[in-house]
């Protein structure tokens, strides 16, 4: 389910994009990390350019974690994709590094939590033990009702640790935050989950 030859090195992450601080995807101010590659093909995926298993930018786990830990004023990171779990070996080390520095972690996956905890790789359990919030399941357009932090209502917001105890109310909110970041070379990043109408018109492009 998660085995990709390209992602066998536990020291390197294949990074599609990175943004240092936003309030649009998770509690408080947090960095956002997009990891390249996904084996699923959800119709109307918001990041189709991040589905191919191709090399984009390899960054050493400790270097990237050190960069995140050095950002002032953030409480943690949100990891999206693509499918972050395909890089589970390096991602487990990355999250472990951040948790040891007191940062909060939020993770999106197209797989179900039950399938992940039953997956026969110890790194997966390690990774989940260092995840505060997991948003699981594939994107389903017909279930897209504008839910906060979720692309569609079938996706669950799972609080795996005590850190965000009391935040269960977000599951009932149908309001998203979204901002656009333009870089000097004309590329843009969608920071947050866009409305379905935007996806209908054109899939956003990062690179
Ligand atoms: S799991 Fe996520 S990244 Fe993969 S195709 Fe579905 S929506 Fe896109």
HEC-encoded secondary structure of the chain:
CCCCHHHCCCCEEEEEEEEEEECCCCCCCEEEEEECCCCCCCCCCCCHHHCCCCCCCEEEHHHHHHHHHCCCCCCEEEEEECCHHHHHHHHHHHHHHHHHCCCEEEEECCCCHHHHHCCCCHHHHHHHHCCCEEEECCCCHHHCCCCCCCCCCCCEEEECCCCCCCCHHHHHCCCCCEEEEECCCCCEEEEECCCHHHHHHCCCCCC
Question: Which protein residue's CA is at the shortest distance from atom 3 of ligand 1?
Answer: 82
Q: What is the mean pLDDT of the chain?
A: 94
How far, in Å, is the centroid of ligand 1 from the Cα of 174?
Answer: 21
Give the model confidence (pLDDT) of 181-199 as tens digits. Answer: 988 877 788 999 998 887 5
Give the model confidence (pLDDT) of 85-140 as tens digits. Answer: 999 999 999 999 999 999 999 999 999 999 999 999 999 999 999 999 999 999 99
Please determine, for residue 207, whether its predicted confidence score (pLDDT) is greater than 70: no
Give the model confidence (pLDDT) of 133-165 as tens digits. Answer: 999 999 999 999 999 999 999 999 999 999 999
Distance CA 34, CA 117 (A): 22
Give the model confidence (pLDDT) of 32-79 as tens digits. Answer: 999 999 999 999 998 999 999 999 999 999 999 999 999 999 999 999
Question: Which protein residue's CA is at the shortest distance from atom 1 of ligand 1?
Answer: 110
Pocket of ligand 1 (CB under 6 A): 38, 40-42, 45, 47, 51, 81-83, 110, 138-139
* Structure tokens, 98: 């951040």
């Amino acid at each position: 389910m998660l085995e990709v030859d390209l992602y066998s090195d536990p020291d390197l992450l294949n990074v599609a994009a990175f943004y240092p601080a936003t309030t649009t995807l998770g509690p408080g101010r947090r960095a956002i990390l997009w990891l390249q590659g996904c084996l699923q093909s959800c119709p109307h995926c918001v990041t189709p350019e991040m589905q191919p298993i191709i090399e984009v930018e390899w960054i050493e786990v400790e270097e990237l974690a050190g960069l995140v830990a050095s950002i002032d004023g953030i409480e943690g990171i949100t990891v999206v994709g693509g499918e972050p779990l395909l890089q589970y070996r390096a991602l487990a080390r990355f999250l472990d590094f951040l948790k040891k520095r007191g940062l909060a972690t939020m993770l999106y996956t197209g797989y179900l939590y039950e399938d992940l905890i039953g997956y026969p790789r110890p790194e997966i359990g390690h990774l989940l033990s260092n995840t505060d919030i997991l948003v699981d399941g594939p994107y389903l357009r017909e279930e897209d009702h504008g839910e906060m932090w979720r692309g569609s209502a079938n996706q669950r917001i799972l609080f795996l640790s005590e850190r965000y105890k009391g935040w269960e109310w977000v599951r009932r909110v149908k309001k998203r935050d979204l901002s656009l970041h333009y870089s000097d070379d004309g590329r843009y990043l969608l920071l947050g989950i866009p409305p379905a109408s935007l996806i209908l018109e054109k899939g956003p492009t990062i690179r």
